[in-house]
Amino acid sequence: MADDLSASDGISDYDVRFEGLDSEGHGSATVRFAISNEDGRVATLSFFVEPESDGVAGLIARAHDELIDALRQMLYRADVLRRGYRTQAGQRNP
The dihedral built from the CA positions of residue 47, 31, 65 and 38, taken in this order, carries a sign that is positive
Quick: pLDDT tens for 42-92: 999 999 999 999 999 999 999 999 999 999 999 999 999 999 999 999 887
pLDDT exceeds 50 at position 1: no
β partners of residue 36: 15, 41
- Asked if 23 contacts 45 with a C-beta cutoff of 8 angstroms, the reply is no
Alpha-carbon dihedral 33, 38, 42, 44, rounded to 10 degrees: 10
**What CA–CA distance (Å, rounded) separates 51 from 29?**
8
